[in-house]
Amino acid sequence: MVPPTPKLPTHVLNPGMLFAHHEEYVISTLLGSCIAVCLWDSRLRIGGMNHFMLPLWQGRGLPTPRYGNIAIEKLIGNLASMGSRKEDLVAKVFGGANVVNYSPGLFPVGTRNIALADEALTAHGIPILAKEVGGTRAMKIEFNTRTGTVILRLVAKGQGVPASLPDVRPR
Amino acid sequence: MDSPTEARPILLIDDVPENLAFISEGLKLRGYQVRVASSGPEGLAAAQETPPGLILLDITMPGMDGFEVCGLLKAIPNLADVPVIFMSGRNEVVDKTQAFALGGVDYLQRPFRLEELALRVKHQFGLAALQAQLRDKNRSLGLALEEAKILNRELVRINERLRISEDLQGHFLATMRGVINNPLTAIIGLADNIHQGGGSLDQARSLASLISGEAFHLDFQIRNIFAAADLEAGTCTPKVAHVDVGSILAEIAGAFARAADSRSIRLVLMQGPEHGALTFGTDAEMMRTVLANLIANAITFSPAGGEVRIGATLRGSALAVEIQDGGIGIRAEDQALIFDRFRTVETGTTSDHQGPGLGLAITRALMDLLGGKIEVDSVLGQGARFTCTFPEFNVMDETSTSSFAGNLFIFDSPKEL
């Protein structure tokens, strides 16, 4: 078991949001078909995480980090505003599980989210150091913004990805 | 199909028993399944019962001859593609021509050796297999083409939406100038009026009341702009607490009382403090922004002297808040568009009420963050009802379990990455 780190300030990241901090924080989030991209600056030792639900903002409603193409740009922007250079950033990518019997498009939303994360990070030239994506199990991750480490817990077998986590409807 | 045993059976139609026995024995020895029929009608019935892979058809038969059988076969949809090899002792060009004209694939001149027949049969099965492959390929190509078309149409739609969004953004900046400048100009003018004095105290009071109204409107619009900016930044986290829904609604109704009064619109609260406490776990500020925008819209789009009804009920573990106006309503085709940013839908006489078109986009984005939903129900000319469904929020447990929207998860042991 990894010992708990009770003293560190913790930020619980909700779907559709992002969080980055120059101090040591543990960012925790729960993922189903959503993707969380953890970006870490190996030079400044700072980091941030997003949690997006759908791959692309398609011009409807507000361009919020609920959408992958917005969420990744915003997170890079947030870190840049704290002094990060893009060449110092590394990424870890999590989530994108597929809810059984739920695929409104050609590919399930989890799969499309994974593809978006890959493409966007590659386009920015940010290397992906760790990737735990796909499958059919939800997971909880905890990302330390100082060390860049991620602690991952898969939901125990048999629970699958609950359909209510979160309610993703393409618009 | 290399192995003849995997092929569908061969149907042999001939009126001469010796021919049937001789040919079927020979083909069976080479691994084919063979079924026999001793007349045209019998052959047709057998073919319809189990479609064969190939038909060997004698031309000269009493009653229905081979040509007639072939013509009938080709008219049956699921048999039309079954290859037919004609067999005949007649060596007339006209027969051969007719055999091929009727759709036969081959013509065997009697007498023939079994080896020749077997080779021609094998050849036909090979061709049939290639054709089947080609059909499969064509079908998947067709599907791929269909998908590509769908994706292409989707791409065109997205492009159009993005272009519209850009246009609207330009329009938004122009509108914003009005939204900020007009009340400010009014406030400055009215304040100058008071400052220069001369009027009675009552006049000053009414001027101050106008200033207050303009300032309230300005404050509301600016809060919306900041809310949109926060939402786009993605950094506003719901702060979950037990929220007294009745007092939030009463507070918003109080804030908009002046705007409603100025057009004699009645705000009817079906869930006020007098209806007993209704507390609910959610983010008070987000809920306030959502409901304030919906109530502001309901007042804006109601006719003078109309009524805006606001109700809140618990539905299971969720809270539904309904806001009903008696206004002009929303066309069915506009109901999806109204949630787009910077979008205001023209429905006749509302242009004097146009804000920057952020309210509903903010409302929807906030409801997304809260894991809830917003629905609109409207018939043009009969008002609109907006229903927000808020899920009860729980505080996340930081140990080995987590809850989200009431679900409890148990996790495997962790691994470090």
CA B341 to chain centre: 21
- Give the Cα separation of B290 and B292 in Å (integer): 6
Tell me whether residue A132 is in a domain.
Answer: yes
Burial of A42 (0-12, 13-18, 19+ CB in 10 A): middle
Residue B212 in tokens: 């207050």
Tokens 């953004």 locate to B169
Strand partners, B308: B267
Residue A104 in tokens: 């409104």
- Give the Cα separation of A24 and A20 in Å (integer): 10
Q: Count of CB atoms within 10 A of residue B89's CB?
A: 11
Ranges of chain A with pLDDT below 50: 103-104, 163-171
Chain A contact for B314, CB < 8 A? no
Instruction: Decide if A61 and B237 are in contact by the 8 Å CB cutoff.
Output: no
Tell me whether residue A5 is in a domain.
Answer: no
Across the A/B interface, how many CB contacts are shorter than 8 Å? 137
User: Chain A: nearest CA to B318, how far in angstroms?
Assistant: 14
Closest CB from A16, A71, A151 relative to B368: A16
Q: For residue A164, which residues of chain B lie inside 8 Å, CB to CB?
A: 404-407
Instruction: Decide if A155 and B409 are in contact by the 8 Å CB cutoff.
Output: yes
- Give the Cα separation of B30 and B170 in Å (integer): 79
Tell me whether residue A30 is in a domain.
Answer: yes
Ordered strands of the A18-21 beta sheet:
A18-21, A46-50, A35-41, A89-95, A128-133
Could you tell me how many residues make up chain B?
Answer: 417
The answer for B 377-396 residues in CB contact with A (under 8 A) is 396
Angle in degrees, CA B333, B374, B406, rounded to 5: 145
The answer for B 151-170 residues in CB contact with A (under 8 A) is 151, 158, 161-165
Q: Which of A21, A67, A116, A153 is the best mutation test for B, with the most CBs of B within 10 A?
A: A153
Q: For residue A166, which residues of chain B lie inside 8 Å, CB to CB?
A: 371, 404-405
Q: Which residue of A has its CA nearest to B168?
A: A59
Angle between helix axes B40-49 and B66-74 (nearest 10 degrees) is 30
Cβ–Cβ under 8 Å, residues A115 and A33: no
pLDDT along chain B (417 residues), means of 10: 61 94 93 94 94 94 94 92 92 88 92 92 91 89 84 82 76 74 88 84 88 88 87 83 88 91 90 68 91 92 91 89 89 80 55 65 90 89 91 55 50 76
Instruction: Decide if B235 and A153 are in contact by the 8 Å CB cutoff.
Output: no
Q: Which residue of B has its CA nearest to A53?
A: B368
> Given A17, A34, A114, A168, which residue is catalytic?
A34
Angle between helix axes B201-233 and B114-196 (nearest 10 degrees) is 150
Closest CB from A63, A149, A154 relative to B417: A149
Instruction: Decide if A64 and B231 are in contact by the 8 Å CB cutoff.
Output: yes
Q: For residue A105, which residues of chain B lie inside 8 Å, CB to CB?
A: none
CATH (residue range B237-391)? 3.30.565.10
User: Chain A: nearest CA to B93, how far in angstroms?
Assistant: 56
Tell me whether residue A82 is in a domain.
Answer: yes
Strand partners, B404: B407
Domain span including residue A34: 11-154
Closest CB from B234, B235, B407 relative to A162: B407
A38 catalytic per annotation: no
Spatial neighbors of A3 by CB under 8 A, at least 6 apart, are none
Tell me whether residue A56 is in a domain.
Answer: yes
Q: Count of CB atoms within 10 A of residue B235's CB?
A: 15
Q: For residue A132, which residues of chain B lie inside 8 Å, CB to CB?
A: 417
Tokens 């573990």 locate to B317
Residue B79 in tokens: 């048999």
Strand partners, B385: B324, B377
Residue ranges of the domains in chain B? 4-112, 237-391
Tell me whether residue A128 is in a domain.
Answer: yes
User: Chain A: nearest CA to B234, how far in angstroms?
Assistant: 4
The CATH number linked to A63 is 3.30.1330.200
| In chain A, beta strands by DSSP E | 10-12, 18-21, 26-31, 35-41, 46-50, 89-95, 128-133, 139-144, 150-154
Q: For residue B239, which residues of chain A lie inside 8 Å, CB to CB?
A: none
What is residue B389's three-state secondary structure?
strand
CATH (residue range B4-112)? 3.40.50.2300
Selection from B380, B343, B348 nearest residue B363 by Cα: B343
User: Chain B: nearest CA to A6, how far in angstroms?
Assistant: 10
| Cis peptide bond prior to A6, omega within 30° of 0 | no
Residue B340 in tokens: 């787009």
- Cα torsion B9, B15, B19, B20: sign: positive
pLDDT of residue B409: 63
Structural domain tally of chain A? 1
Spatial neighbors of A93 by CB under 8 A, at least 6 apart, are A35, A36, A37, A38, A114, A117, A118, A121, A128, A130, A131, A132, A133
Instruction: Decide if A65 and B158 are in contact by the 8 Å CB cutoff.
Output: no
Residue B265 in tokens: 């619109």
User: Chain A: nearest CA to B165, how far in angstroms?
Assistant: 6
Tell me whether residue A160 is in a domain.
Answer: no
- Give the Cα separation of B180 and B167 in Å (integer): 20
